[in-house]
């Protein structure tokens, strides 16, 4: 090493800086879940978190052993379990969504694959399925987080940090910009206040979707420019879903329960398949 080289960082902050994004995400997601429960009672009891984590971990280990002959990815399963809990708001007294949701999410990684890679963000697919098959029992956890400005500020700060460390911040910023522009378009088209159309992305669930679900490293396309184009398409599909009632598109009405979630579930896997096929042709 050169005598002029800067000294290697050390200590707690240096170890934190060297921590890989999945571990950082897992730790911060746990912090979000616990803080949400303590401050806003978002979970309705820690037994729901324990149930979701238990099903996620067991399913990951079993499916990995059956289909791949190896030990499961514990950190991935842990993130999935926490993510399902963060988004799911079942009807009072129901626990089965916290078992079925993680099971669908983990199973999708092994069952719904193309050329060796899974196509859907596991939590995204799981929540989409639950909303479609049991709309009367499962809803998107939203207003339970409260509307305090400091909550959104903390989540945005964490989102910038995690997405930036994973070098995927351009995805979140591109989507946010597209959402703002399309919110203005909807406000003009429907003659409603712009603030109301902008509100979904400023809440905790919108922030979590923008910074954490859209930037799943396993399911995004590879090229930076293609990533931007994909999130722009996702924003357009979401806008179409939000306009379903106004433009009389009944086929889209079931998706109104969670427009961004369904938009990603529709566009994401198609973009992934296109990207894998394109890269195969280029390599050949």
Structural tokens at position 156: 């945005």
State the distance between the two ends of the chain, measured CA to CA, in whole angstroms: 41
264 Cβ neighbours under 8 A, 6+ residues apart = 121, 124, 209, 213, 214, 234
| Separation between Cα atoms, residue 128 and residue 144, nearest integer Å | 20
pLDDT tens per residue across all 284 residues of the chain:
444 444 544 554 444 445 566 777 787 788 888 877 787 777 778 888 899 999 999 999 999 998 887 888 888 899 899 888 888 888 778 889 999 999 999 999 999 999 888 899 999 999 999 999 998 888 887 655 666 777 788 888 888 988 888 899 999 999 999 999 999 999 999 999 999 999 999 888 898 899 989 998 889 999 999 999 999 999 999 999 999 988 878 888 889 999 999 999 999 999 999 999 998 887 77
**Bridge pairing between strands 88-90 and 138-140:** antiparallel
- By the 8 A CB rule, do 84 and 59 touch? no
pTM of the model: 0.86
3-class SS shares of the chain: helix, strand, coil, % to 5: 70, 5, 25
- By the 8 A CB rule, do 226 and 275 touch? yes
Structural tokens at position 15: 């170890």
| Positive or negative: CA dihedral 174, 175, 180, 185 | positive
Q: Give how far Cα 110 sits from Cα of 47, 92, 107, 124, Å.
A: 27, 32, 5, 15
């Amino acid at each position: 090493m050169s005598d002029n080289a800067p000294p290697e960082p050390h200590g707690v902050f240096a170890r934190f800086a060297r921590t890989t994004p999945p571990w950082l995400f897992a730790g911060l997601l746990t912090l979000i879940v616990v803080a949400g429960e303590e401050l806003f009672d978002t979970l309705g009891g820690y037994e729901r978190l324990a149930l979701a984590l238990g099903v996620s971990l067991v399913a990951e280990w079993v499916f990995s052993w059956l289909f791949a002959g190896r030990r499961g990815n514990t950190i991935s399963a842990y993130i999935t379990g926490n993510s399902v809990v963060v988004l799911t708001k079942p009807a009072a007294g129901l626990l089965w969504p916290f078992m079925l949701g993680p099971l669908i999410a983990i199973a999708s990684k092994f069952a719904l694959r193309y050329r060796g890679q899974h196509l859907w963000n596991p939590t995204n697919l799981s929540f989409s399925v639950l909303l479609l098959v049991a709309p009367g029992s499962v809803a998107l956890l939203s207003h339970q987080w409260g509307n305090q400005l400091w909550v959104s500020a903390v989540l945005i700060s964490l989102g910038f940090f995690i997405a930036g460390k994973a070098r995927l911040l351009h995805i979140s910023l591109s989507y946010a910009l597209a959402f703002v522009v399309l919110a203005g378009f909807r406000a003009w088209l429907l003659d409603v206040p712009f603030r109301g159309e902008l509100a979904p992305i400023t809440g905790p669930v919108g922030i979590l979707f923008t910074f954490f679900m859209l930037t799943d490293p396993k399911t995004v396309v590879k090229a930076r420019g293609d990533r931007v184009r994909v999130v722009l398409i996702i924003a357009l599909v979401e806008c179409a879903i939000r306009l379903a009632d106004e433009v009389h598109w009944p086929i889209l009405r079931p998706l109104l329960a969670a427009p961004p979630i369904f938009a990603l579930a529709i566009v994401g896997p198609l973009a992934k398949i296109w990207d894998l096929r394109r890269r195969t042709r280029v390599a050949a």
